[in-house]
């Protein structure tokens, strides 16, 4: 599950979405119609390599149980701690957050509206949620 969740999502609003290769739990994602979300599970074909103190390495499935290989379970609401370009300790609450999307993948979140998809809003400034990220309520724009 996404370890960067601050306020819980609505379980009835979760969906399984196709997501880009390499998507891990806690990552911002968008649907094919640019609806914002956060991956609660890693993509179904994710593999984890675990090492032991003896040097042995084991690779095993790392996606959500029952996920289709190209999909992840996604929260379409809730508040998550995410890095957002342009946020400072002085950024006011309710400032809109936008997703920079390339080839269907969210490459970053930003406060820059031009050419980007609306993703959510700032709920806490940089330094309140963490030193490098702020709390973003996804899917809420007012």
Q: By percentage, how much of the chain surpasses pLDDT 90?
A: 60
- CB-count exposure of residue 63 (10 Å: 0-12, 13-18, 19+): buried
pLDDT band at 131 (very low <50, low <70, confident <90, very high): low
pLDDT digits (tens, 9 = 90+) for 12-42: 999 999 999 989 999 999 999 999 999 999 8
Who wins on pLDDT, 85 or 52? 85
Residue 82 has a pLDDT of: 94
User: CA of 58: how far to CAs of 43, 52, 71, 97, 112, in Å?
Assistant: 19, 8, 23, 39, 42
Sketch the domain layout of the chain as residue ranges: 5-138
Report d(CA 94, CA 79) in Å as an integer: 12
pLDDT(142) > 90: no
| Residue-wise pLDDT tens digits, 63-98 | 777 778 889 999 999 999 999 999 988 889 999 999
For the residues 102-116, what does the mean pLDDT come to? 94
State yes or no: pLDDT of 128 exceeds 70: no
């Amino acid at each position: 599950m996404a370890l960067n969740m601050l306020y819980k999502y609505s379980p009835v609003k979760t969906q399984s979405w196709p997501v880009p290769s390499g998507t891990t739990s806690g990552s911002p994602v968008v649907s094919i119609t640019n609806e914002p979300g956060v991956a609660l599970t890693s993509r179904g074909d994710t593999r984890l390599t675990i090492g032991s103190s003896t040097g042995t390495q084991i690779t095993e499935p790392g996606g959500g149980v029952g996920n289709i290989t190209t999909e992840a379970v996604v929260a379409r609401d809730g508040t998550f701690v995410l890095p957002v370009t342009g946020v400072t300790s002085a950024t006011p609450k309710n400032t809109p957050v936008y997703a920079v999307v390339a080839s269907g993948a969210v490459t970053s979140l930003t406060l820059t509206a031009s050419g980007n998809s609306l993703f959510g809003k700032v709920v806490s400034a940089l330094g309140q949620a963490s030193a490098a990220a702020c709390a973003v309520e996804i899917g809420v724009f007012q």
